[in-house]
Amino acid sequence: MAPPLKLYLIRHGIAEERQPHLPDQQRALTAKGRQKTQKVAQRLQTLGIHFDDLQTSPLVRAHQTAEILQHQGLVPRIHVSDLLSPDGNWPDWLQWLQDWRNPGLTHLALVGHEPNLSTWAEILVWGQPRQQLVVKKAGMIGLLLPEHHNPVGQSTLFWLTAPKLLF
């Protein structure tokens, strides 16, 4: 039996535009993207938020976002997970989450991409995706997953914010 879990789904910051000779996975945060993500990280620290674990998509724009959160002291270390890449799928991720849950871990952050993050949040909260959540770059979703084992359709939404509504 795992305890209730606060799950923070964080979208990567603003990244370089797509270009013909730049692989999508290499697109980096822009200066503005870094700056906004840094401000989000500072705000989270001010709010007293801390993660027991942070998993990030391997794509550069997500990994850089995760590093900014780590450098702000929000989490001791970051882990890369292919399940959080744009082609990660829901059943595999849900299985990972169930395996990950542990009585000692109550705050988990994931850094990834849209539409996956909002789709997964909707499945956890309402049991099915409707694509009605607006998650801006460097924005986030906060969910509370219940104590019992299957969180699908049983989780509650306590936070949804764009960066500009944080500072």
Report the interface residues with its own copies, using CB under 8 A: 47, 125-126, 130, 132-134, 142, 144, 155-162, 164-165
Q: Which is nearer to its own copies, 42 or 161 (CB)?
A: 161
* Nearest alpha-carbon partner for 135 in 111, 155, 153, 151: 111
Q: Closest approach of Cβ 127 to its own copies, in Å?
A: 8
Local structure of 95: helix, strand or coil: helix
Q: Closest approach of Cβ 139 to its own copies, in Å?
A: 9
What residues have CB less than 8 Å from 70, skipping those under 6 apart?
A: 54, 76, 77, 78
Return the ∠ at Cα 165 (arms to 159 and 167), rounded to 5°. Answer: 115
Q: Closest approach of Cβ 80 to its own copies, in Å?
A: 28
Q: Closest approach of Cβ 126 to its own copies, in Å?
A: 6
Q: Which is nearer to its own copies, 102 or 128 (CB)?
A: 128
Rounded to whole angstroms, the Cα distance separating 29 from 63 reads: 10
Q: Which is nearer to its own copies, 106 or 161 (CB)?
A: 161
Rounded to whole angstroms, the Cα distance separating 56 from 45 reads: 19
Q: Which is nearer to its own copies, 60 or 140 (CB)?
A: 140
Rounded to whole angstroms, the Cα distance separating 134 from 40 reads: 17
Q: Which is nearer to its own copies, 80 or 107 (CB)?
A: 107
